[in-house]
Amino acid sequence: MAFVGAAVGDRGALLLRRPRSPCGAPLPTVGRSVGGRPGTAPVAPISCLAQPAGDRRPARAFAMGPAWLAAAAAAAAPWARSATAAALAAALVLSPAALPTLQVGDATLTGGGAAHAARGGGYSLEAASGEVNKDGESVLRWALPINNKAVRELQSSLESITADLRGLKWGKVEGDARKAVGVAKNQREKILAGVPADRRAYAEAQLDVVTEGLPQLNALIAERSTEKVVGLQRSLLRNIGNVEESMVVGFPFEVPAEYADKPLLKGRATVEMTIRKAGDEDFDIMGTIYKEGKLTMVLDGYTAPVSAGNFVDLVQRGFYNNDSVVRSDGFVVQIGRPDTKDELYVDPDTGLKRTIPLEVFAKGDKQPTYGLTLEDDGRGYAATKLPFSVNGALAQARNEFEANTGSSQVFWFLFEPDLTPAGRNLLDGRYALFGYVIDGDYFLKSFGVGDKVIEAKVVDGLENLVLPGKQAS
């Protein structure tokens, strides 16, 4: 019996080999194994009562203490096929818990408080510092298929403020802001050189907002007004993101012809979703009462065109309206179970069942890998362009041991710092992540089984949806 890595069983036992659950069936791995055979990826903890064989839900990882997990990983590292267990043993540290997404209004914040965010909430600089990037908007900016050094320098200088605010290193914060001012002023033409002529006026207007807002940011830094600094910083970063998106020309790769019968998102789209609690109860978020939970999600077709296209198409069809939450366990929140025996969505236009391939985009690759996990591809060590390091990461649910069985069910990942060591976690490369909640992620942990999606709608980017038989405009 081959050793496959470390896992925590339902009773807390360390498992170094492919065990059998109390139900008699092998405990499932986090990802489908090579050739469909179980036992080649690190084992994930799961309850057989919570997840029957063949379930499309992601394997549940129970949160243990960091010291316990580090010991388990260290014990398993010599036998693990991938670097996951070794990374756990070497780099497992407690990260700050994810906090409510920060709402920008008149350069201030509501909802969570920027002072908390500065000590380790949703923001983080792209991994230059070795830290995990827990800000979905930042991850999406870095994932854009562009190559403009000047705009990346402007983005990076503003994002650096977050890490420096955590330690209240105001001198460094001032330096970050001064650098941003210099880049915006001295490299403006280099930034705009990356924008096509027909979008230049739009990019110039966005860049003007940044240029005019930076002196205000410096004034807020001088006042040591943390909340206002983070609020304006985030607002300006969104303007920079708009400039970066305007630089993208065409679609960066060809989607394999075998998926031409799937809806494809060739670009990005924004979806808003409203959820109410069962029994018409209220949401109590840090003492604030809400009648509804509202999420705003950005879906990235540049990284996962098939998965994102499938979701946008189903949203546009109204599939998720009046749908219910089918799983909420502190690890994921899941929706989208169709009323069919095999839990596959049936397209009413064709009468055919719709299945979606596993789609994972590794950093450094030119296009996604389809049909197998990165582990199965011999690259379990590889980082992904869209990582599961963000509270509210949105991904495709599928059958545990069959990569190409996604359909209409999707899940939001609830970021657990104990289970997400620096740079690696057990979901990256094993499930198709295609977007992030950029506003309202603080509602997710309050969603329970039976809570209902009142409405889901596409509010931006619908023109990027390419339906089968149609060409992108």
Domain spans of the chain?
103-131+146-246, 257-466
Confidence band of 167 (pLDDT split at 50, 70, 90): confident
84-96: average pLDDT = 28
Annotation: CATH topology of 103-131+146-246? Four Helix Bundle (Hemerythrin (Met), subunit A) (1.20.120)
Tokens of 153: 């320098």
Determine if residue 122 is left, alpha or beta; phi over 0 gives left, psi from -120 to 50 gives alpha, anything else beta.
Answer: alpha
The answer to whether residue 141 scores a pLDDT higher than 70 is yes
What sign has the CA pseudo-torsion 259, 365, 405, 433? negative
More confident site: 123 or 343: 343
How many Å apart are CA 354 and CA 433, to the nearest integer? 18
Confidence band of 276 (pLDDT split at 50, 70, 90): very high
Tokens 């719709």, located at residue: 354
Count CB atoms within 10 A of the CB of residue 230. 28
Count CB atoms within 10 A of the CB of residue 138. 24
What residues form DSSP beta bridges with 265? 465
How many Å apart are CA 420 and CA 311, to the nearest integer? 26
User: What is the distance between the terminal CA atoms of the chain, rounded to a whole angstrom?
Assistant: 54
pLDDT of 286: 92
402-414: average pLDDT = 96
How big is the chain, counted in residues?
473
Q: What is the overall mean pLDDT for the chain? A: 77
pLDDT of 472: 54
More confident site: 232 or 423: 232
How many Å apart are CA 373 and CA 32, to the nearest integer? 7
More confident site: 205 or 280: 205
How much of the chain is in helix, strand and coil states, percent to nearest 5? 35, 20, 50
Question: How many CA atoms within 13 Å lie on the side-chain side of 96?
Answer: 20
Buried b (16+ CB within 10 A) or exposed e, 197-220: eebeeebeebbebbbebbeebbeb
What sign has the CA pseudo-torsion 331, 335, 339, 342? negative
pLDDT of 424: 60
Tell me the residue type at 456. A
Percent of the chain whose pLDDT exceeds 70? 70
The answer to whether residue 39 scores a pLDDT higher than 90 is no
Closest CA to 295 of 441, 413, 163: 441
Going by DSSP bridges, is the β-strand pair 327-328/332-335 parallel, antiparallel, or unpaired? antiparallel
Confidence band of 254 (pLDDT split at 50, 70, 90): very high
Please give the CATH number for the structural domain made up of 257-466: 2.40.100.10
Confidence band of 417 (pLDDT split at 50, 70, 90): low
CA–chain centroid gap for 71, Å, is 28
Going by DSSP bridges, is the β-strand pair 393-396/433-439 parallel, antiparallel, or unpaired? antiparallel
